[in-house]
Structure 1
Amino acid sequence: MHVLRARSAATALTAATAALALAAGAATAAPTPPPPPGSAHMGMGVVEHDGQGGLPPGAPRAVQTEGVDVSSHQGNVNWAALWSSGVKWAYVKATEGTSYKNPYFAQQYNGSYNVGMIRGAYHFALPDNSSGATQANWFASNGGGWSRDGRTLPGALDIEWNPYGAQCYGKSPAQMVAWIRDFLNTYKARTGRDAVIYTATSWWKTCTGNYAGFASTSPLWVARYNTTVGELPAGWGTYTMWQYTSTGPIVGDHNRFNGALDRVRALANG
């Protein structure tokens, strides 16, 4: 009996020691490092912050048009396969901050156009990096321009969770609204078009205070990975585009334009 008690005590002590060691290891584990500069892309924070539900119904009640968005993560894209699958429009990451340019931009931007798609470019915003005007000029000069050829969509401002640090980039809601306004005004001065705003409702509410003042000019591209689009940011009564999944066929990020193909073309024409 004494031997059994001694063995039980020793086992308990060993287990307690292991638990303490595990807890100490967890406490001293290094934090996950941020991703490398330039690696940000549309929707990379959606699942972490908003979660992910099911896919929307395959046959939407209103006519909608399938699209995709791509960045350097997709590399050289098989545009012919996407076109054959029913994808008719695309957005391609052009720039990030004030120094990054997508090395696959030409293949993606021209390749989508060459198979017949209506395409546009987007800029991943880093509001803690430089002013909105500076980033809008960088974008417009490096792939984010626009022409009335019926096949080029206005540039999109990708404004969402900061993958490199604090989710609101260290800005108050008023400062964030001012930064976005600076970007939008400069982009319109450069191109003659109002930029599309890509965002997620939860981020917009947190980081802009749910500001409603851009809805009258900028089309909304909302990110939500679920069966319905859900609540929209303040001011917008409807969405123009909806990024509904990051796990779609051929390339992950799939979207629906809220209208038939002629409405996509109308947005391109301005």
Structure 2
Amino acid sequence: MVTRRRILRWLAGPQLLLLGGFLTVPEVEAAHLAGIDVSHYQGGINWSSVHSAGTTFAITKATEGTGYTDPYVYQNIAGMKQVGIIPGAYHFARPGTDPVAQANYFTSVVYNANGGSFSGLLQLVLDLETTDGQTPAHVFAWTQAFVARVLAVTGRPCIIYTGFYFWRDNVGNPNNNLNCPLWLAAYVSEAQTAALTPQAWSGVGWAFWQYTSSGAVPGVAGNVDRDYFRNSGSYPNINNLRIP
């Protein structure tokens, strides 16, 4: 996410140095749906302009740890819904503190920001990109506990946002994806994403793909993360990943 620039060190490993990151939209399958992810770094957003530019979905930062709420989460979710953008929300994981407490905090904020319901939102997102100095075994156990709590509260597992190298080196490269769709961070061509998909999702591939942090979208000031929903294969319909 744009909230942590150090993510660039593990998004694509050596490939990033060769490609220099994508500043334009890479070649992709025509079926993919376009989206963005945002936080307070983008400030106020003109969601009508974002929607008119062809954006189908957007995911806003909601919380971090157990004490931080993004100051724009309420207006972002409301703005998305008002113009017909499919809304989503993410939690920036802090594996150094209690996962259940973080999941409770996250779900409470999102529930309130969505008007006292989870209905219509994309499955809630766990943004997994830092260890807080914890071991891979700890980070995976933490992830399991967080996902289990979100499932208990919302009835749906999380979407996990991560990259190949982080999952391999900092989560321990488990084969178990916890029944969570993958939001892959990889600033490479689409053809290269298969090789950069963590092994836990090797059979299904990514559901969402963040392909740049330097995107430009009407209605958003400055750079913004841009994403695709696969919209084919294992993930043929984005509405299947919305909470009823």
Q: Same fold (TM over 0.5)?
A: yes
1:184-210 per-residue CA deviation (whole Å, 9 max, x = no partner) reads: 011111111101100011111111111
1:216-264 deviation per Cα after TM superposition (whole angstroms, max 9, x unaligned): x100001011223242112203100000001111341000000069711
2:90 to 122, 125, 131: 122
- Paired residue type of 1:141: S
Distance 1:62 1:210 in 2: 31
Of 20, 38, 61 in structure 2, the residue corresponding to residue 93 of structure 1 is: 61
| AA in 1 matched with 2:183 | W
Equivalent residue letter for 1:47:
L
Match of 1:253 among 225, 230, 244: 225
The answer to whether the 8 Å contact 2:86/2:121 transfers is yes
- SS of the residue corresponding to residue 90 of structure 2 reads strand
Alignment match of 2:106 (pick from 130, 139, 150): 139
Identity of aligned residues (%): 36
Question: What is the TM-score when the length of structure 2 is the normalising length?
Answer: 0.83
Shift of the 253–144 alpha-carbon distance from structure 1 to 2, 3 Å rule, reads farther
- How far apart in 1 are the matches of 2:83 and 2:236? 17
Greater relative contact order (Cα < 8 A, sep 6+): 2
1:45 equivalent to 2:6? Answer yes
> Do 1:43 and 1:246's aligned partners in 2 also have CA atoms closer than 8 Å?
no
Gaps of 5+ in 1: 1-39, 162-167
SS in 2 for 1:253: strand
3-state SS of paired residue (1:93): strand
Distance 1:66 1:187 in 2: 26
How many Å separate the matches in 2 of 1:241 and 1:247?
17
Question: Structure 2 regions of 5+ residues with no counterpart?
Answer: none
Figure out how many residues of one structure are paired with residues of the other and give that number: 221
Which runs of at least 4 in structure 1 moved beyond 6 Å after TM superposition? Answer: none
TM-score by length of 1: 0.75
Q: RMSD of the alignment, in Å?
A: 2.2
Equivalent residue for 1:223, pick from 177, 181, 185 = 185
